[in-house]
Amino acid sequence: MAPQSPRDKIVHAAMELFWLKGYNSTSIADLLSRTQLNSGSLYHVFPSKQDVLIGVLEAYRDGIQEMLLEPAWGAVDDPIEKIFALLNGYRTMIVESDCTYGCPIGSLALELHEPDPQVRALLAQNFENWTAAIETCLADAGRRLPANTDHRALAQFVLTAMEGGVMQARTHRDVAYFDRAVAQLRAHFKLLEEAAKSKA
Amino acid sequence: MAPQSPRDKIVHAAMELFWLKGYNSTSIADLLSRTQLNSGSLYHVFPSKQDVLIGVLEAYRDGIQEMLLEPAWGAVDDPIEKIFALLNGYRTMIVESDCTYGCPIGSLALELHEPDPQVRALLAQNFENWTAAIETCLADAGRRLPANTDHRALAQFVLTAMEGGVMQARTHRDVAYFDRAVAQLRAHFKLLEEAAKSKA
DNA sequence: GCTGGACTTGATTGAACATTCAAACAAGAG
DNA sequence: CTCTTGTTTGAATGTTCAATCAAGTCCAGC
């Protein structure tokens, strides 16, 4: 591995710690002990804790392709299956974390009650990029969906189902809640495909 | 109004403050200044801050009928419309809060990363009561839904749509995200009702 | 009107926290 | 070697916080 700059070390550690413990419950001291840096070095790179958060959100934003989509879509071509392959990626993370997994963006979005405009914009942008990826799948599905389908709304609904499913799975410590959300979404897509067929 | 006991005062203030600022960001001092009590009185009633949280979650659990369902369902009889009336209640709260509204239970569920078992059980119970209420609506809808409909899964999906919609509306500071989630859910119900009819 | 138990007062404690800064260090340019 | 610029060190600062407790008040029952 290439030697990491302090900046990269901090962002990397913060991504993990914010995900694990949340933003407010992660102290600067946590970040320092994890990165083996001194407080002065951290504050040389990031003027405040909030700037670390901004760095983390930018990293998620810039890494969505390599970190999220490519791993999930490696072996999948069918556009609608790509959507469920992505959801299955989340399922894996839920199981691997013993059902403590929370979407990093969703958790931050709900934890930060009065976010700075820049932070809120980055949260929104992360959601926007996610749904945009789903939207391209829906566009690729073409005539399999009814002609009047609102792709943007449906893509947002996929995010809705994911976030809601993750939240319930975590609260109940049981993947089955996530699975049921995905199954319902699957049923919805099936009904849409049937509706598209019968009108053709 | 009847004179409130210190306990009621604290729970009432904590419901509002936890909702407004979150659990971690609400200090005991915040609760004391809001309730005009002294720290000793608070600690006489609740041995720790977490016990205040438990009191709040119990209050939500015990108040779901009067606080949530009855106001939303006052004028509605149709079982499926009752579901959307409840969602419309959330819509009102989103608008009234300038799109800063977050479901109190959902926000706490995501904010608390390593909750005490009792706290987690109460969060889960709150979700469970909510979906149980939806489930009775689905049962009342009877043959309007396909015979093989999984009422529990569908009720959980309604919660999923609500939580996901609220999260996105808040992040983007725009009710339209909630509205689109509800519209998608409405479309899903419409497809289910059509499927039930065509099989009849 | 006295006693005992329940509640209240509010200053205090000690830990945790984000942030600062003067001093040290590294290394490339002249 | 020396100056300069960028980086690192880590002890120190001031604040905030949850929680404590000895002393005081209140009132019910006798």
Q: What is the pLDDT of residue A1?
A: 47
Instruction: List CB contacts of A177: < 8 A, sequence separation 6 or more.
Output: A165, A168, A169, A171, B156
Q: What is the pLDDT of residue B4?
A: 82
Q: Which of B98, B193, B119, B114 is nearest to B154 (CA)?
A: B193
Asked if B160 lies within 8 A of A165 by C-beta distance, the reply is yes
Axis-axis angle for helices A151-172, A79-96 (nearest 10)? 20
pLDDT at A102 over 60: yes
Q: What is the pLDDT of residue B17?
A: 97
Quick check: A169 and A178 in contact, CB under 8 A?
Answer: yes
3-state SS, B40-104, equals: HHHHHHCCCHHHHHHHHHHHHHHHHHHHHHHHHHCCCCCHHHHHHHHHHHHHHHHHHCCCCCCCH
What is the domain partition of chain A in residue ranges?
1-47, 62-199
Q: Which of B43, B40, B87, B45 is nearest to B68 (CA)?
A: B87
What letter would DSSP give residue B126? H
A176 inside 8 A of chain B by CB? no
Q: Which of B27, B164, B170 is nearest to A114 (CA)?
A: B170
B172 inside 8 A of chain A by CB? yes
Q: Distance between CA atoms of A31 and A121, rounded to whole angstroms?
A: 24
Q: How confident is the model at residue A3 (pLDDT cuts 50, 70, 90)?
A: low
Please state which architecture CATH assigns to domain B61-199: Orthogonal Bundle (1.10)
Contacts of B156 in chain A (CB under 8 A): 168, 177, 180-181, 184
Average pLDDT over residues A59-73: 96
| Tally of residues, chain A | 200
Q: Distance between CA atoms of A96 and A139, rounded to whole angstroms?
A: 32
Q: pLDDT tens digits, residue range A136-181?
A: 999 999 899 999 999 999 999 999 999 999 999 999 999 999 999 9
Asked if A157 lies within 8 A of B127 by C-beta distance, the reply is no
Those of residues 35-94 in A touching chain B at CB distance below 8 A are none
The CATH code that applies to domain A1-47 is: 1.10.10.60
Nucleotide nearest to B39 (CA to C1'): C10
CATH 1.10.357.10, applies to A62-199: yes
Report the gap between the CA of B87 and the closest CA in chain A (Å): 14
pLDDT at A2 over 60: no
D strand bases under 7 Å from protein CB: 7-12, 16-23
The CB density around residue A142, as the number of other CB atoms within 10 Å, is 10
Q: What is the rounded average pLDDT for all residues in chain A?
A: 95
Asked if A111 lies within 8 A of B22 by C-beta distance, the reply is yes
B101 inside 8 A of chain A by CB? no
What does the block give as tokens for B128?
Answer: 């469970």
Nucleotide nearest to A31 (CA to C1'): C18
In the chain, the amino acid numbered B150 is: D
DSSP 3-state of B146: coil
In the chain, the amino acid numbered A101 is: Y
> How confident is the prediction along chain B (200 residues), in pLDDT tens digits per residue?
455 888 999 999 999 999 999 999 999 999 999 999 999 999 999 999 999 999 999 999 999 999 999 999 998 999 999 999 999 999 999 999 999 999 999 999 999 999 999 999 999 999 999 999 999 999 999 899 999 999 999 999 999 999 999 999 999 999 999 999 999 999 999 999 999 988 66
Q: What is the pLDDT of residue B198?
A: 84
Angle at CA of residue B167, ends B163 and B170, nearest 5° = 135
Residue A152: Cβ-neighbour burial (10 angstroms; 0-12, 13-18, 19+): middle
Report the gap between the CA of B48 and the closest CA in chain A (Å): 18
Those of residues 111-130 in B touching chain A at CB distance below 8 A are 111, 113-114, 120, 123-124, 127
pLDDT at A38 over 80: yes
